[in-house]
Each structure stands twice: as C-alpha cells, then as structure tokens.
Amino acid sequence: MTLRYKFISLFLLLTITPVVIVGYLAYENGRKTIEQSTFNHLSATNIHKTVLFENWLKDKMDSLELLASCPFFTERFPAMLEAHVEGSVEHEKAHRQVNEHWQPLLNRKMFLNFMILRARDGMVVISNDPWNQGKFMDYQPFFQRGKEVSFTQEIYYDLSLQEPVLMMATPLKDIHGNLLAVLAGQINLTLLSQLMEMRNTLSATEDSYLVNSSNFFITEPRFGTGHALKKTVHSQGVTKGLTHKAGIDFYEDYRNIPVIGAYTWIERWNLCLMTEVNQSEAYAPILKLQRTILFIGGVVAMLAALLGWLFSGTMTRSLGRLVVATREITRGHLDIHLETTGNDEIATLARAFSEMSTRLKKTLVSRDALSLEVKQREKTEKELHRALSALKRSNEDLQQFAYVASHDLQEPLRMVSSYTQLLEKKYGDKLDEKGKKFIYFAVDGATRMQKLIQDLLEYSRVKTHGVQFESLAADQMLDAALINLGAAIEEAGAVVTRGPLPVINVDRTQIVQVFQNLIGNAIKFRKDRTPEVHISATHKDSSWLFSVKDNGIGISEAYKEKIFIIFQRLHTRDEYPGTGIGLAMCRQIVNRHGGTLWFESTPGRGTTFFFTLPDKPRDRIDDEQCET
C-alpha cells in the first residue's frame, strides 16, 4: 500500500469512526424514541378503542334493555303474544304496535333488525323484517342465553343473510317477571367497522381491526374488503393477542407488510383488537435521519479522503523528488538541485540530502586529488628510496673504502717510517745536517700520516664496530675518560668539575670516547688561563642534555658546522696539534645513539658543547639514521 493510500485510509478511519459512532448513537436514540412513541400511541389507541367498543356495545344493550322494559312489552305485549297467530288481524295489529316502539332505534341505524323469539321454541314471532318471521333460532346462543340474561353473541356468519352478524338479546318478561320471549337485535356491523376506522391521527397506514378467537376478521381492516368472517389472519401479533395477552410486536401483517402492532385481548368479547402501523411509516423520520447521517458521513468521508489525498500529496511529491534525486546520484549525477523551502521534516530531509550530495561531490573531488597526491608521493617515495639505497650503498662503499684504505695503508706506511728511522740510525752519522733534516721530515710525515690513518680507521669503526647498548652510570664513563686524560689534565693543571649525572643506556667505549674528546679539546684549546671544565646533565623532553663547558679560546660562529667535518682544522698544527677528526667522531657517536651534538661559544671566553642522549633504553640506532 502506498503512502498516499495509507494517508487516505488513516484520514478516513479517523473521521469516519467518530461519525459512525455518533451517527449510530443518534440513530439508535432516535429509533428508540420513535419506537417508544409509536408503542405509546398504539397502546393508547387500543385502550381508547377498547373503551369505545365496549361503550358502543353497552350503549346498544342499554337501548335494547330499555326497549324490553318499556310498559308496552311488560303490560300489553304478553296478551298479544298469547293470541299470536301469524297472518291474523291481531298479529298485524301487534306487529304495528311493536314496530312503533323499535322504529326510533331502527331509524337511528343502531340496529338493523329486531326479532321477538318465542321462549318456547325460539321461533321468530315478530320482526321488523317479516322475512325473519317463522325462523327458528333455538340453536343460537343469543336465544339460549338471552332467555336468562342480556347477552351479546360473538359475531357469526349468517347463511341466509350471507354476511357476518352481531346479535344482542335480552329477556322479555311480563310485569310479574315471567319470561315471555327473547328480544333480539341485529347490530349494524358497518358501524363497528367505522368505529374501528376512526382515527385521531393523520397516519396513512394506521389500521385497527378486531379478530375473533378463530383468527377471523370481525371488522374490515383498512386495506381490505369482504374480510369480515371470510378471511383469517395469522400474523404474529394476532397469534400473540389470541393467547389472551396485550403487547406490542414487530411482524408482517395480513398483507405481508412489516408493521408495528399493538394487540389487546378483550376478554369479555373474546376478541383481539389489533392496531398496526406500517414500519415504513413509523420509521420514516428515522429513515430520514439515517439518510442525513449517511449523507453527512459521506461528505465527511469525501472531505477526509480529499484531505488525506492533498496532505499525502505534499509529502509524496517531496519524497518523490528525493527518490528521483537518489536515483540520479545512483547513476552518478551529483549535480542535483532540490527545492528545500519549508520548515517541516521533509524539507529538513531534503536540505540534508542536498547538503549530503554537495559534500559527496566535494569529497569525491578531494578523493581524486588525494589519490593523485598519494600516487605522486608514492612515486617520490620510490625515487627517494632508490636514492637512499644508492646513498647507503655509496656510504657503505665509502666506509669500506675508508676502512680498507686506512687499514691497508698502515703497513706500507710503517715500512716507510721504519726504514727511514733505520736509515737515520745506521747512516745518521754519514748524513749532513740537511740530510738529517730531510729524514726527520720524512719520519714526521710518516708518523702524521699514520696518525691520520688510525683516526680515520677509528672514525669508520664508530659504525662498523659499535657494540650492544647497556645501562651504565655516566659518572663511570666520565671517570674512565678522565683517567685516559690523566697526563694532559695534570700537565695543564686543569680543573674538571661535574654535576649529578644520570644512568644512561649507551655503548660505553664510544661515550667514554665522546667525554674524552670533548674534555681533551677543552684542555687543549686554551691560552694562558688554567683550564676549567664542567660537565653536567639535565633532563629535557625525554632526553638527557649533557653539557661540557670550558673557559678556552672559544669558537667563532662562522665555524659552527665546519668544525664537525672530518679532518677540518681551525688552527695550524703548530698552534694546536691534532688530526681534526675528534668532533666529527663525537657527532657520529652521538648521532648513533639517537642524539644531537652542537655547541655554543663566545670566542675568547669559552665554549659549551651540548649533546643529548635518550633517557629510555632503546635498540641500537640504524647506521643509516646516524648518517642522516
């Protein structure tokens, strides 16, 4: 289900649910109210009609009894009855007189017929309709019961009249109370139907009728003719009414139309009074309400769907653009533009997305540049590595050369020196002063060369013959150096002082060499002053900083680097002897230990040499590193 349909469904759900609930409650309430009102009305109608019906019958019976009790019937009629012979003059006379008495009631249409039935055999002796005279009604309940009391017979179908008949009877007695006959009156049933049809509402379907205990219509229902005692009705309402109960029910009436009906059993007359109204009419207002609710529900649903559609539209459009943009990015098109107005989450998302694409683009550009740089660096590095390897090779060759040269040169040099000295010894007395001088120069030259070669050998050995580092007290190494310098110190009367010195991890021989060279220099390069040398050490940046301070001749700034170059001399051999290799070797050693060597000096006042050594034990530094 797409987001749009989800939103529409959600809106519909949120709006229709309350409408349905409220509508249902309104409908139910309305229905109950109308039902109750219909129930009340139908029940009231039944009560009213029952009273009307009973009063109507009572009224008839009263009239009949009044007629029976009039002096004519009690006083004069008995004699007439005695002398009754049909067709006789007396009969005609009696007939006329009787007629005069009941004529007013006939005129008022309260009764259709009157009959006087002979008590003996139920024969009709006098009737306003002569046709009835001579009939025997002995089998009829209205005669049998009418001899004793006033009696109204249940409506029956008269075969000779071919219609339903309601008969009422009352005893006719003489003045002494002796039964003479039965006065019977046939009631106009049309009036009863009219009575049932009387309505106090404008209802188009309200229908009242009477049904007897055998389910036959007694009065004509509103929507039928010829039903009275001809047709039966077996509707649910009638069935219930005939169980001698009163109530209200929903059922299909005699026309099979759904009705609301009230049934009332009239015990005295063994009749059921039905009042019904079509459900369609009773529920018309409710149906109207139902239609209104449905209409409102429909409108609300449409509005909700429209709102859902619009709302989801705003979202799906933005999301759609994002989807398109994402696909573009997937295809590698980073030049996308998203509309990012608004403050909602989707606009924020769009902005973030836009930003992301921009950054992605930049990043990709940077990446390319970086990748290019990396390649270049790799290339440079390779070149560098090649150069380094070449340099290393060349350096190794050079060292090898220096070693070999210095080592192999010593032997011929010793021969030159030895044989020159031997020449002087054997033939010195034969040589003149000049010759002796030349020999001296040759020996001196050979000796110096030997010294130079030895120094060079030492220098080359710094790297090639270094030993494993070990932790040692700097004091010990300083002591060893001072012992080696003992003669020089003593000769110069130098004063060597020291500060506290640490324990360091070093190649002992080499560090002794460093101390020895630096202190030796400090004593050597002096003028008239008594040399004073001070050695100290301080801890700085994970290194020990050693200093060797003197009060010698000092070194000009111009020679700051020059003095560390091998065989470089600032003075003549006459001024200060030496080969000029000492400082170069010191720097080589310090470098090999991972430190640096430099000096600070004021010419004429003294020099301080500084060198650093790492405070932590470390593996021997690669020779290559030392070289750099």
Partner 1 sequence: MNGRKNQWFKKSFIISCPVIMARTRVGDIFFSFLCILCLQGFWPEKICAADPVTVQLKWVHQAQFAGFYMAQEEGFYQDENLDVSFLEGGKDVFPVTSIVEGKAGFSVMSPDDIFINRLRGVPIKAIAAIYRKSAVVFLSMPGSGIRRPHDFPGKTIAAAGEGAGVQDFFIQYSAMMHQLGIDTASIHLVPFSMDFSDFYAGKVDIIPVYVTAGLIKIQQKGLRPNIIWPGDYRVRFYSDTLVTTDAMIATHPDVVTRFLRATLRGWTRVIQQSEKALEVTMKYARIKDKTLQMAMLNAQAPLVHTGDETIGWMRPEEWTQMHNILLEQKLLPVPLSPVSQLYTLDFIKALRQVGGKN
Regarding 135 and contact with partner 1 (CB under 8 A), the answer is yes
Amino acid in position 193: S
Q: Supply angle C-alpha 50, 51, 53, rounded to 5.
A: 65
Q: Which of 5, 157, 295, 441 binds partner 1 (CB under 8 A)?
A: 157
The least CB distance from residue 153 to partner 1, in Å, is 11
| Beta bridge partners of residue 274, listed in sequence order | 209, 263
Query: Which of 535, 566, 569 is CA-nearest to residue 549?
Result: 535
Q: How far apart are CA 192 and CA 186, in angstroms?
A: 12
Residues in 86-115 that interact with partner 1 by CB under 8 A: 86
The per-type count for the chain, helices as H runs and strands as E runs, is: 16, 17
Question: Applying CB under 8 A, which part among 135-143, 202-210, 573-581, 600-608 lies near partner 1?
Answer: 135-143
The least CB distance from residue 127 to partner 1, in Å, is 11
C-beta of 2 vs 225, nearer to partner 1: 225
The least CB distance from residue 88 to partner 1, in Å, is 14
Amino acid in position 509: T
C-beta of 72 vs 223, nearer to partner 1: 223
Q: Which of 76, 173, 230, 451 binds partner 1 (CB under 8 A)?
A: 230
Structure tokens at 522: 């400090």
Sign (positive/negative) of CA torsion 297, 303, 306, 311? Answer: negative
Q: Which of 39, 56, 72, 156 binds partner 1 (CB under 8 A)?
A: 156
C-beta of 87 vs 500, nearer to partner 1: 87
Structure tokens at 332: 């590698």
C-beta of 216 vs 546, nearer to partner 1: 216
The least CB distance from residue 289 to partner 1, in Å, is 37
The least CB distance from residue 273 to partner 1, in Å, is 17
Q: DSSP string covering 358-408, please?
A: HHHHHHHHHHHHHHHHHHHHHHHHHHHHHHHHHHHHHHHHHHHHHHHHHHH
Residue 624: strand, helix, or coil: helix
C-beta of 42 vs 123, nearer to partner 1: 123
Q: How far apart are CA 418 and CA 422, in angstroms?
A: 6
Question: Applying CB under 8 A, which part among 156-164, 306-314, 507-515, 597-605 lies near partner 1?
Answer: 156-164
Regarding 354 and contact with partner 1 (CB under 8 A), the answer is no
Find tokens 């002398």 and name the residue: 83
Regarding 144 and contact with partner 1 (CB under 8 A), the answer is no
Query: Which of 156, 152, 155 is CA-nearest to residue 143?
Result: 152
Q: Left, alpha or beta for 250 (phi > 0: left; psi -120 to 50: alpha)?
A: beta
Site string for partner 1, 69-88 (x = CB under 8 A): -----------------x--
Q: How far apart are CA 155 and CA 142, in angstroms?
A: 11
Question: Applying CB under 8 A, which part among 25-33, 155-163, 491-499, 541-549 lies near partner 1?
Answer: 155-163
Site string for partner 1, 180-219 (x = CB under 8 A): --------------------------------xxxxx---
Bridge-based pairing of strands 258-266 and 207-212 is unpaired
| # residues contacting partner 1 (CB under 8 A) | 29
- Report the 3 state secondary structure along 306-351: HHHHHHHHHHHHHHHHHHHHHHHHHCCCCCCCCCCCCCCHHHHHHH
Q: Which of 58, 234, 539, 540 binds partner 1 (CB under 8 A)?
A: 234
Regarding 343 and contact with partner 1 (CB under 8 A), the answer is no
The least CB distance from residue 209 to partner 1, in Å, is 16
| Beta bridge partners of residue 611, listed in sequence order | 546, 597
Regarding 255 and contact with partner 1 (CB under 8 A), the answer is no
Regarding 540 and contact with partner 1 (CB under 8 A), the answer is no
Q: Which of 6, 21, 54, 131 binds partner 1 (CB under 8 A)?
A: 131
Residues in 468-507 that interact with partner 1 by CB under 8 A: none
C-beta of 90 vs 328, nearer to partner 1: 90
Regarding 225 and contact with partner 1 (CB under 8 A), the answer is no
CB 408 within 8 A of CB 466: no
Q: Which of 75, 138, 355, 381 binds partner 1 (CB under 8 A)?
A: 138
Other beta carbons within 10 angstroms of residue 622's beta carbon come to: 11
The least CB distance from residue 198 to partner 1, in Å, is 26
Q: Which of 79, 100, 109, 130 binds partner 1 (CB under 8 A)?
A: 130
Other beta carbons within 10 angstroms of residue 247's beta carbon come to: 15
The least CB distance from residue 135 to partner 1, in Å, is 4
C-beta of 115 vs 506, nearer to partner 1: 115
CB 489 within 8 A of CB 523: yes
CB 44 within 8 A of CB 51: no
The least CB distance from residue 67 to partner 1, in Å, is 24
Site string for partner 1, 158-177 (x = CB under 8 A): -xxxx---------------
CB 127 within 8 A of CB 138: no
Q: How far apart are CA 521 and CA 32, in angstroms?
A: 126
Q: How far apart are CA 437 and CA 113, in angstroms?
A: 201
Regarding 133 and contact with partner 1 (CB under 8 A), the answer is yes
The least CB distance from residue 258 to partner 1, in Å, is 19
Bridge-based pairing of strands 163-173 and 151-152 is antiparallel
The least CB distance from residue 137 to partner 1, in Å, is 8
Question: Applying CB under 8 A, which part among 37-45, 152-160, 351-359, 425-433 lies near partner 1?
Answer: 152-160
Q: Tell me how long the chain is.
A: 628
CB 507 within 8 A of CB 593: yes
| DSSP state letter for 155 | P
Q: Which of 154, 197, 252, 458 binds partner 1 (CB under 8 A)?
A: 154
Q: How far apart are CA 46 and CA 465, in angstroms?
A: 139
Question: Applying CB under 8 A, which part among 41-49, 132-140, 171-179, 398-406 lies near partner 1?
Answer: 132-140
| Percentages of the chain per state (helix, strand, coil), in multiples of 5 | 55, 20, 25
Question: Applying CB under 8 A, which part among 225-233, 304-312, 402-410, 562-570 lies near partner 1?
Answer: 225-233
C-beta of 156 vs 403, nearer to partner 1: 156
Regarding 298 and contact with partner 1 (CB under 8 A), the answer is no
**Which residues of the chain form contacts with partner 1 (CB under 8 A)?**
86, 130-131, 133-139, 154-157, 159-162, 212-216, 226, 229-232, 234
